[in-house]
Amino acid sequence: MALFGKKKEEDAGEQPRREKARGKSKRVVRVKELEQALAEDKDIDVDAIVSMYMPKRRMARIGEALLRLGTLQKVLICLALFMAVLFGISFMQENMGNFTINLNRLELFRRGIAIADNSQFEGATARLTAEAVAYGTNIATEDLPDNLDEIDGSHNGRSYVAYTFYIRNAGKEDLGYSGQLKVASASKGVEKAARVRVYCNGEAVTYAAPASDGSNEPGCENFESDDLACRLSNDTFKVGYVDKYTVVIWLDGDDPECVDDIVGGAVEFAMDFAADGAEDTNLFTKFVQDIGDTLTGTDPIGAAGTDAPDYYQNNTITWDNRRNQENPPA
């Protein structure tokens, strides 16, 4: 925006009249209007133009508006920004790492199902993340250790990821669960040379992408699809049951797809668990149900929403005293 007036006349006798006329004709105009006026009227004195442009005026107005807000409004804005930051961090965490395990919070975690990276279920939770292996290279299957299923939590080697975790039912009802081991992301075709070995309660199966002719790689089961390595399930996961899983990921040096072209690539896997026959109810309904459980003294989830519920009568379900073993404790 700009403010301008007419050029001064050289005749001194005309000065008062011109000043009076100029005062009446002064007005605020748009910059485009001023440019057009300058182009058409050669008598406009450019030096008489007073600019009304204020650098960073919009930010200044925003700042002034914020200062005028009440204390409650400021608190609400700060809380909204804080929640946005937390959401962003959570989103990043969900998409980082070489291997993550996620438990459905609505249909499993709130019903007493939890996972942990130790057999005693210390710090039981709904999400686990394995440590990453940086700058790993290919390895022969025969070079993998024999005790991969005997160490809890992350126990990576130089060129392989190994992670052992447990899932338990410390809830109030028997149910079933299913799991999907997915290729979360991959680059440069690394997933074609990857191997994924899954131990479930001591029984191991190795999965790999199909060979170039579609057949199975030696000693492996084919991936179910480009994005899905395998499916896991337990249809009768009763109260007091505990299942143990070990997942091992490596690049097989004997695979024909393990070539120089994949150098510098990466692959990430994720394992998601969900309840079989999950109720088709929304989050609000589940929230109301949780309130009912709280009022009746059977609180399913802690106030923070991160403490694993435990309804079991002894309150100590572990891998050692689980019901699904040959000689369960009385």
pLDDT bracket for residue 69 (50, 70, 90): confident
Least confident of 39-48, 106-115, 252-261: 39-48
**pLDDT recorded at residue 187:** 83
Q: What is the DSSP letter of 212?
A: T
Q: Give pLDDT tens digits for 134-153.
A: 777 888 899 999 999 999 99
- Return phi, psi of residue 314, to 5°: -90, -15
Q: Give pLDDT tens digits for 152-183.
A: 999 999 889 999 999 999 888 889 999 999 99
Residue 92: pLDDT over 70 = no
Residue 240 lies in a domain: yes
Residue 95: C-alpha distances to residues 88, 121, 180, 323 (Å): 11, 25, 16, 35
Q: State whether 26 and 139 are in the same domain.
A: no
pLDDT bracket for residue 84 (50, 70, 90): confident
SS3 at position 276: coil
Spatial neighbors of 175 by CB under 8 A, at least 6 apart, are 111, 113, 169, 237, 275, 276, 277
Q: State whether 147 and 235 are in the same domain.
A: yes
Residues 48, 31: Cα–Cα separation, whole Å: 15
Residue 223 lies in a domain: yes
Residue 205: C-alpha distances to residues 13, 229, 231 (Å): 106, 11, 12
Number of structural domains (the chain) is 2
Q: State whether 171 and 287 are in the same domain.
A: yes
Q: Are 168 and 317 in contact (CB under 8 A)?
A: yes
For residue 276, the enclosing domain spans: 95-295
SS3 at position 176: strand
Q: Are 139 and 251 in contact (CB under 8 A)?
A: yes
Q: State whether 159 and 242 are in the same domain.
A: yes
**pLDDT recorded at residue 294:** 60
Q: State whether 112 and 200 are in the same domain.
A: yes
Q: State whether 28 and 163 are in the same domain.
A: no
pTM above 0.75, yes or no: no
* Token pair for 289: 């149900």
Residues 179, 206: Cα–Cα separation, whole Å: 16
Q: Edge-to-edge strands of the sheet including 50-51? A: 28-29, 2-3, 50-51
Residue 4: pLDDT over 70 = no
Q: State whether 168 and 25 are in the same domain.
A: no
Residue 279 lies in a domain: yes
Q: Give pLDDT tens digits for 217-264.
A: 999 999 999 999 999 999 999 988 999 999 999 988 888 777 767 777
Residue 315 lies in a domain: no
Residue 304 lies in a domain: no
pLDDT bracket for residue 328 (50, 70, 90): confident
Query: What number is the average pLDDT over the span 203-215?
Result: 92
* Token pair for 29: 């105009």
**pLDDT recorded at residue 5:** 46
For residue 233, how many C-alpha atoms fall within 13 Å in the half-sphere facing its CB?
Answer: 9
pLDDT bracket for residue 186 (50, 70, 90): confident
Q: State whether 185 and 257 are in the same domain.
A: yes
CA 246, chain centre distance (Å): 23
Q: Give pLDDT tens digits for 260-314.
A: 677 777 888 999 999 886 555 555 666 666 666 666 655 544 443 445 555 555 5
Q: State whether 134 and 278 are in the same domain.
A: yes
- For residue 6, which of 51, 43, 52 has the smallest C-alpha distance? 43
Strands 228-237 and 221-222, sheet pairing? unpaired
For residue 22, how many C-alpha atoms fall within 13 Å in the half-sphere facing its CB?
Answer: 17
